[in-house]
Structure 1
Amino acid sequence: MTTAERQRNAQELIRPQLPADLLQRGECPFDPAGGLTELSGQGRIHRIEHHGETVWLVTGHDEARAVLADPRMSADRINSPRARKLISPELHAEMFPPERRAGSFIFMDAPEHTRYRRLLTGQFTVRRMRDLTPRIHEIVNARLDAMIEKGPPADLVQDFALPVPSLVICELLGVDYGDREEFQHRTAKLLSLHTTVDEQIKVNTDLRRFMHGLVRDKQRDPGDDLLSGLVRDTDLNTDELAGIANLLLIAGHETTANMLALGTFALLEHPDQLAKLREHPELVENAVEELLRYLSIISMGVSRHAKEDVTIGAATIREGETVVVSVPAVNRDETQYDDPHELRVDRPRGHHVAFGHGIHQCLGQQLARVEMAAGFTELLRRLPALRLAVPADEVPLRTDMSIYGVHALPVTW
């Protein structure tokens, strides 16, 4: 196997590589890829032959929920037959050593997944997140204080959108915020589409080392944070605790940061919707759900493989075949939403799949909702003249990352 084949197959395992016209966004930075929109108009589940393999692409809302809720559809890409086919045993052992797999419950099926999820569910309930709301507003306003004091122009990503969820998840897990650059930089490397497999292995090893140190600190001197609670109240071993901490720390800041920045960009580019939200701030929770639906930052989709033959809609998916749920397409399904390509901050809340669906739906979705609601509320209240500091087509987009957004958002006020 050549180096190029090794790299391609490893990337294919981590995130199935669909044809470029189904992934690359077009002129409008908020719309799905043009090829994806065209394909969605031709049906709801599509058979695609890619790199000699059958991949099923789901673009229909009901079909997506069926796939994500079906226990015959496995999330375990690490131990799948496909993994063994794509990469050698030696590379598999390098990429997924036992200590890395431990605690990585988003890549597990029941009952393993259930065991970990049950330990964490109580930490992310609606009530618990509402209890955190005043503190989240404090963090939001502290970041705005600093940004306003520094004066315009500002990069909303570095000055606001990234620090807010990073501070929140650090406090929740008991991580020193001074360590943020370490995990933020490494997370960015993991999410880059240009990171080589060897770089990914190194970054994962470095992150594991960092998380193990964090867990050992909690074992020696526990506090009242979430991670200390897991150390104190469960029988999880150090590898499992480090794996859970790794998942929560990465997921807890990266996706929300991108939604805050890209959501602000979208509002600034839709002045009628921005004006409506300013005039009716009570719509903020609707606006959050609408932005999640409209923007759908998980551009690469959510993949599963069939553990047996499964019929979804009009398609029969054979055992071992891969299914990719296209979140951007599903959230623009014309049978589910009126005028789905329009942003409407007062749209009634629907059942989008921005947080997934079924047993693997995002554990921290209530936290993300509270952070976004607080972020947009205070940002628009305190900066009534907020606007872009550069032309919209000069805003650098994260088309090189598996989670979409903006690399920077220059603003003034």
Structure 2
Amino acid sequence: MTDSTGPSDNGSEPSPFPMDRGTCPFSPPPEYAGMRAAGTPAKVRLRWSGKEVWAVSRHEDVRQVLSDSTMSSNWKLPAYPLQVPVPDEMLQQLELPLVAMDPPEHSARRRVLIPELTARRAQALRPRIQEIVDEHIDAMLAQDGPVDLIQALAFPVPALIFCELLGVPAADSDFFRRVAETLVRSDVEQEEMISAQIEMEAYLDKLVSEKEASPGDDVISRIIVKNRETPTIERRDILNLAKNLLFGGFDTTSNMIALGVLVLLEHPEQLAELRGDPGLAPNAVEELLRYLSIADSSPARAVLQDVEIGGTLIRAGEGVIALTSSANRDENVFPDPDRFDIHRDTFGHSAFGHGIHQCPGANIVRVELEVVFTTLFARIPELRLAVPREEVSFKSHTLVHGVNGELPVTW
């Protein structure tokens, strides 16, 4: 076992983080493979703050970090490796979302939310999701010339589903998208971050007030009504649950749709199999989730007591980032991990996280992706890019990977 004392794990200067992706926009940074081969956590330096933290890359170690009760998800702790430029004075006043809470507070609030997001409820939503997808594909087919897939499908479909779940006007989806994208960028100015945070807090406060006065048939209203009957959480907790849905809601699904379409287009033989047998969709979606791992570095922890990870002693008061995309490319778990294969056994992938903070909306996301991919390629079998792939731009230095700007397609 090695000790964590020193400027880095091997005496070298820590690499800037987040790291740049290589030539393939679907793959994690090439340095991750070297980190896995080394077999131990590596020190990195956060670009926006200069803080040195540990990056964990192996599947086994990532899952240890995400399930270890001696590590905290609390953003307010000095050791927590926050990757977006939130001023400390603002951070300390912030009501933390579910993803940034530890037990027992986290447990009580998650128990309130989970019944609204079960696999059964997700399947009950499938007909409505199908309607929404068909309506948007109808609109695509009615247009002449190339269509921006993001504006036509990848963004509006999950946004509309998200708005219906929360009971907010569909017209507000552009606001949610702008705020969500701002809050996960590491290169945004602090003033813009503060403004987005204030806007979101004000909107959610107004939303909850409206639901309290006149509950509807949506997630937030049902939580409010149940909490009146059996009080278990405070009003601010309901606000935070709404915030958690915003953080993990439509923006990630939108990015998965756009990137997933690109991946399938670049694997025409497997796409043909999927078109011929829609029953392959559930496993194809799991493989896309593993292969893309778009929320690569979102899971992070503050170490509360000394712990050994991958043979390295990491001290209390240090920060750890769990690299889920690296875990999902671990050669010891997924043979030939850089190969996309819709027939692969994807059991154990960490695209939705792991442990108590595993994404609560995973069931709904899975159904959305299944419906989108099967319907899109069944109804538009000749779908293809309208520009060379080299002209497609991708996001950088953000907690959620995706296409940056437009994704022109035609048929």
- The question of a shared fold, defined as TM-score above 0.5 by the shorter chain, is answered with yes
Find the aligned partners of 1:159 and 1:238 in 2 and give their Cα distance: 36
Contact 1:22–1:35 (Cα < 8 Å) also in 2: no
Find the aligned partners of 2:179 and 2:32 in 1 and give their Cα distance: 30
Q: 1:186 is matched with which residue? A: 179
- Match among 387, 392, 403 for residue 390 of structure 1: 387
Contact 2:303–2:316 (Cα < 8 Å) also in 1: yes
Find the aligned partners of 1:195 and 1:49 in 2 and give their Cα distance: 18
Say which SS state the counterpart of residue 297 (structure 2) adopts: coil
What is the CA distance between 1:342 and its match in structure 2?
0.2
Contact 1:21–1:35 (Cα < 8 Å) also in 2: no
Distance change >3 Å, CA 86–CA 64, structure 1 → 2: closer
Find the aligned partners of 2:26 and 2:58 in 1 and give their Cα distance: 19
Contact 2:53–2:81 (Cα < 8 Å) also in 1: no
Find the aligned partners of 1:82 and 1:411 in 2 and give their Cα distance: 45
Identical residues among aligned pairs (%): 39
Contact 1:170–1:249 (Cα < 8 Å) also in 2: no
Find the aligned partners of 2:270 and 2:81 in 1 and give their Cα distance: 49
Q: 1:371 is matched with which residue? A: 368
> What value does the CA root-mean-square deviation take over the aligned residues?
2.3
Find the aligned partners of 1:45 and 1:93 in 2 and give their Cα distance: 31
Q: Does 1:40 align with 2:36?
A: yes
Q: 2:95 is matched with which residue? A: 101
Q: Does 1:62 align with 2:55?
A: no
Find the aligned partners of 1:133 and 1:66 in 2 and give their Cα distance: 34
Q: 1:124 is matched with which residue? A: 117
Q: Does 1:252 align with 2:249?
A: yes
Contact 2:283–2:342 (Cα < 8 Å) also in 1: yes
Larger helix percent: 1
Distance change >3 Å, CA 52–CA 237, structure 1 → 2: closer
Q: 1:201 is matched with which residue? A: 194
- Match among 279, 286, 289 for residue 289 of structure 1: 286
Find the aligned partners of 1:223 and 1:229 in 2 and give their Cα distance: 8
Say which SS state the counterpart of residue 311 (structure 1) adopts: strand
What is the CA distance between 1:250 and its match in structure 2?
3.5
5+ unaligned residues in a row in structure 1: which ranges? 1-17
Q: 1:329 is matched with which residue? A: 326
Say which SS state the counterpart of residue 326 (structure 2) adopts: helix
Find the aligned partners of 1:192 and 1:52 in 2 and give their Cα distance: 16
Q: How does 1:38-187 map to 2 (within 5 A)?
A: 38-48=34-44, 54-78=52-76, 80-82=77-79, 91-97=87-93, 100-101=94-95, 104-187=97-180
Opposite residue 355 of structure 2, the aligned amino acid is G
What is the CA distance between 1:22 and its match in structure 2?
6.0
What is the CA distance between 1:271 and its match in structure 2?
1.7
Say which SS state the counterpart of residue 286 (structure 1) adopts: helix
Opposite residue 317 of structure 1, the aligned amino acid is I
Say which SS state the counterpart of residue 54 (structure 2) adopts: strand
What is the CA distance between 1:95 and its match in structure 2?
3.2
Q: Deviations over 1:54-109 (max 9, x none)?
A: 5221111111111111100111121x13369999xx94332342xx315x121110
Opposite residue 220 of structure 1, the aligned amino acid is A
Deviates more, 1:176-185 or 1:113-122: 176-185
Q: 2:225 is matched with which residue? A: 232
Distance change >3 Å, CA 152–CA 41, structure 1 → 2: farther
Say which SS state the counterpart of residue 274 (structure 2) adopts: helix
Q: TM (normalized to structure 2)? A: 0.90
Find the aligned partners of 2:137 and 2:367 in 1 and give their Cα distance: 17
Q: 2:348 is matched with which residue? A: 351
Find the aligned partners of 1:315 and 1:95 in 2 and give their Cα distance: 30
Q: 1:14 is matched with which residue? A: none
Matched residue count: 390
Opposite residue 23 of structure 2, the aligned amino acid is E
Find the aligned partners of 2:246 and 2:81 in 1 and give their Cα distance: 29
Q: Deviations over 1:313-343 (max 9, x none)?
A: 3121111111111111110000001110000
Q: 2:297 is matched with which residue? A: 300
What is the CA distance between 1:146 and its match in structure 2?
1.2
5+ unaligned residues in a row in structure 2: which ranges? 1-13
Q: 1:9 is matched with which residue? A: none
Contact 1:208–1:243 (Cα < 8 Å) also in 2: no
- Match among 183, 202, 205 for residue 212 of structure 1: 205
Opposite residue 193 of structure 2, the aligned amino acid is Q
Find the aligned partners of 1:273 and 1:86 in 2 and give their Cα distance: 36
Find the aligned partners of 2:72 and 2:223 in 1 and give their Cα distance: 27
Q: TM (normalized to structure 1)? A: 0.89
Find the aligned partners of 2:162 and 2:187 in 1 and give their Cα distance: 27
What is the CA distance between 1:122 and its match in structure 2?
0.8
Contact 1:22–1:36 (Cα < 8 Å) also in 2: no
Find the aligned partners of 1:85 and 1:211 in 2 and give their Cα distance: 23
Opposite residue 391 of structure 1, the aligned amino acid is P
Say which SS state the counterpart of residue 363 (structure 1) adopts: coil
Say which SS state the counterpart of residue 284 (structure 2) adopts: helix
- Match among 25, 32, 37 for residue 29 of structure 1: 25
Find the aligned partners of 2:113 and 2:265 in 1 and give their Cα distance: 37
Find the aligned partners of 1:84 and 1:31 in 2 and give their Cα distance: 23
Find the aligned partners of 1:46 and 1:301 in 2 and give their Cα distance: 17
Opposite residue 56 of structure 1, the aligned amino acid is W
